[in-house]
Amino acid sequence: MFRIFFAIFFKLVMYFVILSVLWVVVLKVVPVWVTPLMLVRKVEASREGESSKIYHDWESYDNISREAALAVVASEDQNFPNHWGFDFDQIQDAMSENRKRVRGASTISQQVAKNVFLWNGRSYIRKGLEAYFTVLIELIWGKKRILEVYLNVAEMGKMTFGVEAASQRFYGKSAKDLTRYEAARIAAVLPNPIRFSIKNPSSYVQGRTSKIARQMRALGGQKYIADL
């Protein structure tokens, strides 16, 4: 019985690996039109009797302002150009802090792996799969594609996903025309895009926007991400 169980388990693992690798390879070139979180938000809106329209417009990396790309790196993952999917220094710092609830230390790569391939949750299984897909996209996609996908699928407002949709909806312009301060404000709401507003920023969001803009300058501007 053990041998039969092991054989079945081994086959299932092999099928999963093959299918997941093929999935990642396909999404290296095909736009990500929908994510699990988009579907969750749509269902939640329908249940609450609200509009379930999703605002999402895919744009290639070349059609997005480099200020927007720099802003999310400065805000979410300043070591993004240098790590291989995991920022172990940030993880260690987060774990060593004396808090009842340890703050997040997810890199942009980990966030993309979670948003595109997985469901929300805190189980060890989901975290393990997140690490697995993070390694895959780092190896198969590379940094530029990872950042491109992040800029297109990250939640940036209520029912709003991606920097192009956010820019059109809240600024009335294309993402390729975003200024540094506008890009920094979009990045400022990323910790909680449902609570924080790009269009009507609170004093906290305004202060965080200024901080991110300063960090963008401190990193050296757009040249910091020029060689992704």
Q: Does residue 154 contact residue 72 with C-beta atoms inside 8 Å?
A: yes
User: Dihedral (C-alpha) 160, 166, 169, 170: value to the nearest 10 degrees?
Assistant: 120
C-alpha–C-alpha distance, residues 135 and 94, integer Å: 21
Residue 95's pLDDT is 55
Q: How confident is the model at residue 94 (pLDDT cuts 50, 70, 90)?
A: low
State pLDDT tens for residues 16-55: 999 999 999 999 999 999 999 999 999 999 999 999 999 9
Residue 96's pLDDT is 57
Residue 206 has pLDDT above 70, yes or no: yes
Residue 105's pLDDT is 66
Rounded to 5°, the CA angle 96-100-102 comes to 50
H-type alpha helices, 122-179: 124-140, 143-153, 163-170
Model confidence, pTM:
0.91
The secondary structure element, H or E, covering residue 55 is: strand 55-56
Q: How confident is the model at residue 89 (pLDDT cuts 50, 70, 90)?
A: confident
State pLDDT tens for residues 104-157: 569 999 999 999 999 887 889 999 999 999 999 999 999 999 999 999 999 999
Residue 87's pLDDT is 83
Residue 103's pLDDT is 40
